[in-house]
Amino acid sequence: MSFYKPSFRHPEAPSNELGLTAKAYEGGISTLCAGCGHDSISASIIQAVWGLNIEPHRVAKMSGIGCSSKSPNYFLGKAHGFNSVHGRMPSVTTGANVANRDLMYIGVSGDGDTASIGMGQFSHVIRRNLNMMYVVENNGCYGLTKGQDSATADEGSKNKKGRANPFEAIDLVALALDLGATFVARSFSGDKEQLVPLMKAAMSHKGFALIDIVSPCVTFNNHAGSTKSYDHTREHIQAASVVDFVPMAQEITLDQIKGSTQKVDLHNGDSVQLSKLSDNYDPTDRHNAIRTLLDHKAQDKLMTGLIYVEPESDNFHEMLNLPKTPLNELKEDVLCPGASTLSSINDSFR
């Protein structure tokens, strides 16, 4: 853990369209362990929000409890944050989101917070297609309580004491696909080049966007035998596609590596440009995505990248037929029917 944050910034640091440098998007100093994957994810969030030209105070940072849930304190210091109850970030975010549809909601959770205590709320926020980016900082263990296995720990993965986990792992990506999530991605905290465009696309998606990010716990789950270590993840990672996020009206300049490209237009006019490893892979085909995910798993590969996206779908605001004006801005004259209406209501009770 660091205890000092240097204030020096390069004088020629680039500004975004709002005239802000990335510094305006930073938060408090992290108290996580040195080398924690979560800090890399915070850095990616800073880059992505900066790159999307979103004013920091128009973001709401939502979290539950755990190491991951502490991390919203370490980015976007000018945004409001809500460190809520273990496993219950989705419900608080749902209420907040319904109250004000105009903010950008970033939920940060962990594998314990999502796949165990928060499994119910995770499932139901997906069903509601709530307009948010849901980041899981997935390290396969409980960090704050010192290294117990979590529900995403792979079967056979060894904990720090050398004991192999006997239980089947919950794959959040497979689950989200099955539950009808409209944007599903997986990444690795150590792959910022993949992560930043994925986050930009997730935040531009008008609906629920999951990014399950393997984020090694350097203290409790980074040893040989663990399947969530840096080494193991690097050895087994396989990007299904190389992703670039393309804002509306910007020229596409993605360097293809091999295979074919596919452009997926998002609802707001932005698009995601993919360089695919295989011609057969179509991230707008849910069946195909599930099959490809299972194929990777069978080959002991960790499939990353944008796995599935459904650009046009009704999100929760549309399901509820909410007005364009956020509910929290409606004034008393709209909300209160008044005394004369009440007298006719009284008549209905006679």
Partner 1 sequence: MSPINKPVLLDEVVNDFVVKFANVNGSGSASANSMFAKAIFRMGIPVSPRNIFPSNIQGAPTWYEVRVSEKGYLGRRGGQVELMVSINPQSMTQDVEEVCPGGYFFYDNTYPLDFNLIRDDIHYIGLPLTQITNSNFSNPRLQQLFKNIIYVGSLAYLIGIEFSALESIVSDTFAKKPKLIQPNVDALQLGFDEAKKAFSTPLPLQLKRSNKNDGKVLLEGNAACGLGAVYGGATVCAWYPITPSTSVAEGFEKYAKQLRVDPETGENNFAIIQAEDELSAIGMVIGSNWNGARSFTATSGPGVSLMQEFLGLAYFAEVPAVLIDVQRTGPSTGMPTRTQQSDILISAYASHGDTKQILLFPATPKECFELTADAFDIADRLQTPVIMLTDLDLGMNEHICDDLVWDENRSYDRGKVMSAEDLINTKEKWGRYLDVDGDGIPYRTIPGTHAEKGAYFNRGTSRDEFAVYTEKGADYQRNMERLEVKWATAPKHLPKPIITERDAANKIGIIHFGTSLEATHEAIDELSVAGHTANDLRVLAFPFHEEIEAFIEQHDQIFIVEQNRDAQLKMLIVNELEIAPKSLKSILHYNGDPISARRIVAGVTAHLDTLSVGKKDASASVA
What mask, x for binding partner 1 by CB under 8 A, covers residues 263 to 302?
----------------------------------------
**Interface residue with partner 1, options 37, 51, 56, 305 (CB under 8 A):** 56
Nearer to partner 1, 103 or 302 (CB): 103
**CA–CA separation, 18 vs 161, rounded Å?**
50
- The verdict on 334 binding partner 1 (CB under 8 A) reads yes
**Beta-sheet strands, E only, within 66-113:** 80-83, 104-110
- Quick one: which of 98, 179, 218, 290 contacts partner 1 (CB under 8 A)? 98
Q: How far apart are CA 307 and CA 297, in angstroms?
A: 14
81 closest CA partner among 101, 102, 57? 57
Integer Cα distance of 305 and 259 in angstroms = 15
Q: Pick between residue 33 and residue 327 the one whose CB is nearest to partner 1.
A: 327
Contacts (Cβ under 8 Å, ≥6 apart) of 334:
none
For the record, the structure tokens of 169 come out as 């792992």
- Please give the Cα distance from 134 to 108 (Å, whole number): 6
Choose which of 57, 163, 287, 291 interacts with partner 1 (CB under 8 A).
57
- Total residues at interface with partner 1 (CB under 8 A): 59
Using CB under 8 A, pick the residue from 16, 22, 33, 77 that binds partner 1: 77
Distance CA 284, CA 291 (A): 13
CB neighbour list of residue 170: distance below 8 Å, 6 or more residues apart: 115, 119, 151, 152
Question: Which range binds partner 1 by CB under 8 A, 45-53, 74-82, 262-270, 277-285?
Answer: 74-82
Among 5, 15, 28, 312, the residue binding partner 1 under the rule CB under 8 A is 28
* Interface ranges with partner 1 (CB under 8 A): 28, 55-58, 60-61, 72-73, 77-85, 88, 90-100, 102-103, 120-121, 123-124, 320-324, 326-328, 330, 332, 334-339, 341-343, 345-346, 349-350
